[in-house]
Amino acid sequence: MSNFSQTEKNPKCPVYIIIKSKAVASLLQNSLKKTINEEKICILRDIKDLPSNFGNNTYIITENNRAFIPKISKISPKRNIKIFVYVQNIYNLNENDLIFFIKHGIDHIIHPGNIQYLTYETFIDLKIFKKKHYNAFIDKESTLLADLCQRFDSTDARGSSKIDIYGISNHINTIVSNARKISQTDSNVLITGESGTGKEFIARLIHNESKRNQKPMVSINCGAFPEGLLESELFGYKKGAFTGAFSDKPGRFELADKATLFLDEIGDMSLSLQVKLLRVIQEREIEPIGAIRPKKIDARIISATNKNLEDMISKNKYREDFYYRINVIPIHLAPLRERKTDIIILIYYFLKKFSAYQNNNVYGMSEDALMTLLNYDWYGNIREVENIIEMLVVLNENGLIVSKDIPQKYFKISASREDSQVKPMSAIYNFEVPDINNTQISLKHEIEKIELEIIRKAMKISGGIKEKAAKMLGLNRTTLIEKLKRYEKNNKYK
């Protein structure tokens, strides 16, 4: 294995690895050995062991260390260096981690899932691995965000039902992992969550990964039909069963035989129809309207709702016995505002998708615009993110989406921040005056602590928009930026 002594012999190694774990360093080295000689890979003990100058086409691979990364990112000449950060579990990253990586110009994230694909390449273009648009915070060309844009995909056996689920939160990773386990059973599933969280995508994932994927998943929105029509849609009818029944019509249960039936918005189903469905689930047979004998069916039922069914049961608006029949295995999708890393990834994904689809010249989004969207509550969840990004891409004429392009509703402070919004600045911070007595203190240090706390509060209330925060503080925007840079330099503002 390469070691520190090699740094002195070859001060311009193409690859420097600064990882405390010998096992991880060895894995990185073995992966790189496919494309570069082992003697050109230097494994160092500390960032201090890096040489003072570097050759072109240099890789620096370090761990997720908040002390190392800012120092490495300032190494010059930056354009000749590609910076990698190794993360043991990318699903444990939070939105502050992602923003930290973007701010410090990290080129790639390495983790156990992609370490085997790590290769060494010389730079065809010195800027190819850096952001191509330096005024964009979210850049559609970002290799870092491409690494973080984790996709969970699935296709049924016929190759006709393909789904892609994007996210980097621990929540969505757990949901997808559990859905794939559930797919190997025939148990009924109830998926709950707010509108737009992707309930149907999870249902399709379960179907696509199951043994029933030879046939398509059959879907019906229970809230889109009146009770009588919904019954005929579910169970079908025989010719002559009622006026207008000119021929037999198979119901959704029959169409889903040996496959999956997805009952969307099941919280809107009437009590009388719940009784009929209860028997279908119990007996595994249906009676089409007008039929004289029941018909056996084998359909796996996946239901979804954005309503609180347990609350409806307590108010006698939903049948408890039916609830327990459909809720054998529960899956709850958390709202997007509770998994903000996914917001960043979805903004990046939809930015790329719509700029390509619309043949548009939009290349990125400013930091202020991202912070505005990141602090919004997203009650429409993923569907709302998709819609607003499409609108911003279509209407943009400058290539960069900035905060002034965003509709005013997205600047509203969320309910969780309303209390701090209505209070004056003097009432939202609470400082303890240090007990001086005979002890010497640093007045400058104590004043800096107070100033930093006020800046933090102002940035939080303004949703991260520096111009608004500066106005609240009675400062010029450039003055606030300089203060933030000074505190960031000293690792005080994070």
The 10s digit of each residue's pLDDT in 39-48 is: 999 999 888 8
The CATH architecture of the domain made up of 415-494 is Orthogonal Bundle (1.10)
pLDDT tens-digit map of 329-362? 999 999 999 999 999 999 999 999 999 887 788 9
Instruction: Select from 31, 23, 39, 38 the least CA-distant residue to 119.
Output: 31
Task: Give ∠ CA 309-313-317 in degrees, rounded to 5.
Answer: 95
- pLDDT at 250 (0 to 100): 85
- Cβ atoms < 10 Å from Cβ of 115: 14
- The topology (CATH level 3) of 5-130 is Rossmann fold (3.40.50)
Average pLDDT rounded to a whole number, residues 308-321: 95
- Cβ atoms < 10 Å from Cβ of 89: 11
- pLDDT at 109 (0 to 100): 96
- DSSP H stretches of helix in 54-162: 68-73, 95-103, 143-148
pLDDT tens-digit map of 14-29? 999 999 999 999 999 9
Query: Is the pLDDT higher at 139 or at 484?
Result: 139
Query: CB–CB of 79/127 below 8 Å?
Result: yes
Least confident of 46-55, 260-269, 399-408: 46-55
pLDDT tens-digit map of 75-108? 755 567 889 999 999 999 999 999 999 999 999 9
Res. 126 pLDDT band, cuts 50 70 90: very low
Distance CA 111, CA 94 (A): 15
Residues 6+ apart with CB under 8 A from 297: 253, 254, 256, 257, 280, 284, 285, 286
Domain with CATH 1.10.10 in the chain: 415-494
Average pLDDT rounded to a whole number, residues 222-233: 88
End-to-end CA distance of the chain: 36
Q: Which DSSP letter does residue 421 get? A: H
Domain with CATH 3.40.50.2300 in the chain: 5-130
- The topology (CATH level 3) of 170-333 is Rossmann fold (3.40.50)
Query: CB–CB of 349/389 below 8 Å?
Result: no
Q: What is the DSSP string of 94-108?
A: -HHHHHHHHHTT--E
Cα distances (angstroms) measured from residue 438 to each of 70, 442, 456: 38, 13, 31
Residues 6+ apart with CB under 8 A from 134: none
Distance of CA 344 to the CA centre of its chain: 6
- pLDDT at 121 (0 to 100): 85
Which residue is listed with tokens 């009676």?
A: 287
Domain with CATH 3.40.50.300 in the chain: 170-333
Q: Which helix (H) or strand (E) holds 15?
A: strand 15-18
Distance of CA 218 to the CA centre of its chain: 28
Cα distances (angstroms) measured from residue 414 to each of 105, 335, 410, 426, 472: 30, 14, 10, 21, 18
Query: CB–CB of 44/17 below 8 Å?
Result: yes
Average pLDDT rounded to a whole number, residues 476-489: 79
| Pairing state between β 300-305 and 108-110 | unpaired
Average pLDDT rounded to a whole number, residues 370-379: 94
Is the pLDDT confidence value at 7 over 50?
no
Instruction: Select from 19, 4, 96, 30 the least CA-distant residue to 64.
Output: 19
Backbone dihedral region for residue 476 (phi beyond 0: left; psi -120 to 50: alpha; all else: beta): beta
